Structure 1
Amino acid sequence: MLPHPDPALAAALAADLRAAGYSSRGLREAWGETADDAIARGLRGPALRVLGERRDPLAVLARLLGLGVEQGRDLVDTALPATGSAGLAALGLADLDGRVVRAAALVRPQAFADAHGEGEWWIASDLDEAALGGPLPEDHVLGVGGASLTLAALQVGGPAATGLDVGTGCGIQALRMRRDVDRVVATDVSQRALRFTRLNALLNGVDGIETRHGSLFAPVRHERFDRIATNPPFVITPRVADVPAYEYRDGGREGDALVADVVRGAGEHLAPGGVAQLLGNWETRGGRDGLERVREWVDQSSIPLDAWVVERETLDPLAYAELWIRDGGTLPGTPAYARLVDAWLDDFAGREVTAIGFGYILLRRPADDRPTLSRFERVAGSGEGPLGAHVAAALAAHDRLQRTDDVGLAASGFVVSPDVTEARHHRPGEETPTIIELRQGGGFGRALSVDPALAAVVGASDGDLPLGALVDAVADLLDVDAAALRADVFPRIRELVFTGFLRFAD
């Protein structure tokens, strides 16, 4: 069991890491971009080859804490003058064996950027497959992976009083949330994960994070929060013997029931106006579309909720099984791999599952408990920039549009967002385009085909004239009825404002 982290030792370690230049940039410069990319794919060899026999503090810490490779005790004591190898062991991050220090966990720098600017955290977590040389133990506490980064970037910003991180793991979402939120509660079924969270808060000098033990919302019964973020253990896992049940990804439910429970239960823990965001998997089951099943979960909430659900990808049962079997460290071509594939396929077949969706779920409790947003969509692409700012802007746009009737819309001015471009496709020799496409560089990177009338309205939207005047001018230009064009264009303008192609000029 990881020990309770000692604040003084954690502060000493942070000082030592800072003095050694143990940062994302420092490591990239030490072993190069190629090795850095290889580490992200679980390959340590290129980095170790570049580091060679270097004995400076950065190289020693890179091998021990970054890659999980044992080092000499004298080297570690020199690299960590305030902490020492004994202090590292007391924090549960290393084991001492005579004159050798063996890594018991990883501590890796994690750069980030948000509305407050750029920064970096040190994140301690369990040894990965490369360091272990085999499959992960079932109580493994994951470091910062792709899903963690996705949810962190997806979080809406802005000040709030209270936040909740459900299934905190190493604590990355709690740290991200604390940048905007005064007080954060982080929960997990794993005591080991909670201790990593506390250690990571101490390493990075972050206060205001309270850890509580328990499943999902049980530790916060009867409490409400302005923000909820959760990267829950949503991986669909067969409930049969000999299939590893990793705590960090398997919530112990059948199929997608855990995500359903989170969606149904989140509203009870949201303050009026509060927002919950999570990642999840959902099954297309028995011919019923996965997104429709998520819609049903939202409808089953005891608290009426706004909902915006984005499905980013779908996998067939075999591809899904192979993805998560490899994630656990079992290699293709082995008898264990084939046995696990069969277990997953049998499990899916028993529920008539034909596809598994992955995506983002945003739930909001309206201040008056009367929902106005119900959006369930498939968006495969992704634009540049943080999605959190885009999501927050979309919610604000939705709220303003709800307050704006068509008379108000006609009187409003709009401007084209700076990331939007237009592409026109012509048949050779023809002047009139066959396809006009608007493309979004930020947000979800959407691409929309539009007709000449809407393209003309958008192209003229520079904020100088109100929408009604623009549509009337385009109707006159195209020799069509202005009232009919307004009826056709106004709903589509609302969609362009929500999705970020257009913005209110004021």
Structure 2
Amino acid sequence: MNTASDGLPDLPAEVCARLRAALLRTGYDADGVVGVLGGAAHAALGRGEPEPAERATRDAGELGTLIRLFLLGGTEPAAAVAAALAPLDLAGAVAAGLLDVSGDDVRAALDLRPHGDDAGSWWVLADLDADQRGGAVPSDHVLGVGHASLSLVRATSRRPAGTLLDLGTGNGVQALHASRHARRITATDVSPRALALAAGTFRLNELDVELLRGEWFDPVARRRFDQIVCNPPFVVGPPRVDYVYRDSGLAGDDASALVVRQLPAFLTDGGVGHLLASWLHRVGEDWADRVTRWLPAGTDAWFVQRDVADPALYVGTWLRDAGIDPRSPEGRAKSAAWLDWFAEHDVEGVGFGFVTLRRTTEPPTVVCEDLRHAYDDPLGVEAARWLDRVDWLRAPGTDLLATRFVVPDTVVLERIAEPGDEGWATTVRRLHRTDGPGWRHELDEPATALLAGCRGALPLADLLDLLAAAHGTPRDALVEAALPVVRELVRHGMLLPAEWTR
């Protein structure tokens, strides 16, 4: 798969074992790096400001050498690097494609950095980015752990799974996180370079991952998995492949559509898929109508739109991501072709977000939501609970009117009042969930009164009887108006069966 003769990194088990020993010995892990840099310098490094980190590493010995070499992109003396990487010798590191040596000067040829979660730390191998290279990246560039990767990590549910597929693994970071909750992991990619680096990542972290090469779902034909995660090449635009990590060769948002259409067929019954996706916003077309047309039968789906980019901003962002100056002749030409394509296809924006899919034998639930406001809680935990609430709502034994509901402590009511002749008059009643995605619902006065009574003591039917009597409203009309609101609030975790809160 990865031999020096084909220009790919060559990271066999023996090299990875020696490198791992060096990294463990020096403390080159997530905690070790933060410990040396301190909070301020680490934050500055994240902003692209290396000087505070450079200063912090000067007295950090061999760990400081590795931080400057791999995280700061510096040139280090050969003797210092040899000491820091022992028992891996310099010749072995160069042959593996890890280092470049020129005389007594040593530079990193690959990006090797710690990456951690609450349970521990790993190391991830990837290519140097445009800033580290000092220029545009090649077409087979393998990304490091970027914002999109971390977003998918946070949007993936972590309940135990027997089998998991990481489709388009790249550097392998999704599979690393999957190792916390999945017994058997399969990772695929179309790029030989990505597979070579992912193989090195897995060996370095002593993980047994099945690696397969091929396009889309071809390598796992006729197989099914309990969970699938996918960070596809979702950049939208003309049908070309400038960079394998982001371009699919399919036009527009066809790459995202392909994954949504095909993924459920590779899930076990009840299996769950999580992916990042992009979709076109076209003049006269609702984005929700567009993405729901991609769905196959028998699929629960939750589409969460996190951002919508103006076409010009979108093009400029992706050009800079590849290290291309939009002001250069190359940048101008690529921008013109890209923007022309958007104009020809009536594209007024590009949506981006997360998709959760589940294979089901029940009548499917499909929801598209615009959640562009800021929130900090990981979406993966909420996605799993969202599916639980969907299951409960459609279960044959569920009777909303007979259920005793509770408003969770994380839900608060905001009232907006305006002054009038008779004092302050409430004009807006808005329910907020202060955790998860921070959902909000505007309520009328009867709904506000109904929720005030949801303390787990009386079933919904009794509360509606009391509300009808108090407001002089026909009960049947009140029930008809209340049940859709109750279902929506349950789906959003803003109203729960009392038995769930005990």
One fold, TM greater than 0.5? Answer: yes
Partner of 2:160: 159
Aligned 8 A contact 1:93 1:103 in 2: yes
Q: What is residue 434 of structure 1 aligned with on the other side?
A: 427
Say yes or no: does 1:403 pair with 2:403.
no
Deviation, 1:139, is: 1.0
Match of 2:409 in 1: 418
Q: CA deviation at 1:50?
A: 4.2
Secondary structure of 2:458's aligned partner: coil
User: Is 2:451 the counterpart of 1:446?
Assistant: no
Using structure 2 for the length normalisation, give the TM-score.
0.92
State the AA in 2 paired with 1:8: E
- Give the drift of 1:453: 2.0
Deviation at 1:352, TM superposition (A): 2.2
Counterpart of 2:432, as a letter, is: R
Q: How does 1:167-316 map to 2 (within 5 A)?
A: 167-207=168-208, 209-239=209-239, 245-285=242-282, 287-298=284-295, 301=296, 304-316=298-310
CA distance in 2, matches of 1:404, 1:504: 16
Which of 38, 62, 73 lines up with 2:78 in the alignment? Answer: 73
CA contact (8 A) 1:237 1:245 kept: no
The structural deviation recorded for 1:62 is: 0.5
Residue type of the alignment partner of 2:50:
R
For the structure 1 residues 248 and 238, does the alpha-carbon distance in structure 2 shift closer, same or farther, using more than 3 Å as the test? same
Contact 2:131 2:323 in 1 (8 A): no
Indicate the residue corresponding to 2:112 in structure 1. 107
Aligned-pair CA distance for 1:464: 2.6
1:12 to 9, 13, 18: 18
- SS of the residue corresponding to residue 179 of structure 1 reads coil
* Alpha-carbon distance in 1 for matches of 2:468, 2:28: 63
Residue 281 of structure 1, CA deviation: 1.0
Q: Per the alignment, do residues 416 and 189 of structure 1 end up closer, same or farther by CA in structure 2, a change over 3 Å counting? A: same
Pairwise CA distance, 1:359: 1.2
Aligned-residue CA RMSD (Å): 2.2
Q: CA deviation at 1:322?
A: 1.0
Task: Output the CA distance in 2 between the equivalents of 1:89 and 1:226.
Answer: 40
The alpha-carbon distance between structure 1 residues 417 and 8, as it changes in their structure 2 partners (threshold 3 A), is farther
Report Cα offsets for 1:230-275 as digits up to 9, x if no partner: 00011124346xxx71111111111111111111211221221111
Distance (Å, rounded) in 2 between the aligned partners of 1:234 and 1:138: 16
Kindly state the Cα deviation for residue 499 of structure 1 after the two structures are TM-superposed: 0.9
Asked whether the equivalents of residues 382 and 443 of structure 1 are also in contact (C-alpha less than 8 Å), the reply is no
Q: In 2, distance between residues paired with 1:480 and 1:79?
A: 78
Instruction: Give yes or no for contact 1:76–1:84 (8 Å, CA) kept in 2.
Output: no
Residue in structure 2 matched with residue 322 of structure 1 by the alignment: 316
CA distance in 2, matches of 1:404, 1:35: 56
Determine helix, strand or coil for the equivalent of 1:427: strand
> Percent sequence identity over matched residues?
39
Q: How far off its partner does 1:34 sit?
A: 4.2
Gaps of 5+ in 2: 1-6
Which residue in 2 is equivalent to 1:131? 132
SS of equivalent residue, structure 1 residue 383: coil
The letter of the residue matching 2:69 is L
| CA–CA distance in structure 2, aligned partners of residues 55 and 239 of structure 1 | 49
What is the letter of the counterpart of residue 198 of structure 2? T
The one-letter amino acid of 1:458's match is: L
User: Which residue is equivalent to 2:3?
Assistant: none
Q: Partner of 2:207: helix, strand, or coil?
A: coil
Deviation string 1:367-422 (CA, Å, 9 cap, x unpaired) is: x2x4421112222124332211111111011111101577x212212222332222
Code of the aligned partner of 1:482: R
CA–CA separation in structure 2 for the residues paired with 1:317 and 1:383: 25
Which string of whole-angstrom CA distances, capped at 9 and with x for unpartnered residues, describes residues 201-258 of structure 1?
2222222x11101111011111111111100011124346xxx711111111111111
Q: CA deviation at 1:110?
A: 1.6
For 1:235, the aligned partner's letter is V
Question: 2:120: which partner in 1?
Answer: 119
Q: Find the counterpart in structure 1 of residue 30 from structure 2.
A: 24
| SS class of match (1:426) | strand
CA distance in 1, matches of 2:48, 2:323: 10
Change (3 A) 1:453 1:339: same
1:36 paired to 2:42: yes
Distance 1:55 1:287, change over 3 A: same
Structure 1 stretch 72-81 or stretch 132-141: which is displaced more? 72-81
CA contact (8 A) 2:166 2:228 kept: yes
> CA 1:384 to 1:239, structure 2 compared with 1: closer, same or farther past 3 Å?
closer
**Alpha-carbon distance change, 82 to 416 in structure 1, aligned in 2, over 3 angstroms:** farther
Q: Which structure 2 residues correspond to residues 319-358 of structure 1 after superposition, within 5 A? A: 319-358=313-352
* Amino acid across the alignment from 2:410: D
Q: Secondary structure at the match of 1:435?
A: strand
User: TM-score, normalised to structure 1's length?
Assistant: 0.91
CA 1:42–1:288 in 2, change beyond 3 Å: closer, same or farther? Answer: same
Displacement after TM superposition at 1:90 (Å): 4.1
Take 1:206 and 1:317, find their aligned partners in 2: how far apart are those partners?
41
Give me the whole-angstrom Cα distance separating, in 1, the residues matched to 2:410 and 2:69.
43
Give the whole-Å Cα distance in 1 for the aligned partners of 2:275 and 2:321: 21
Q: CA deviation at 1:18?
A: 2.6
* Aligned amino acid, residue 104 of structure 2: R
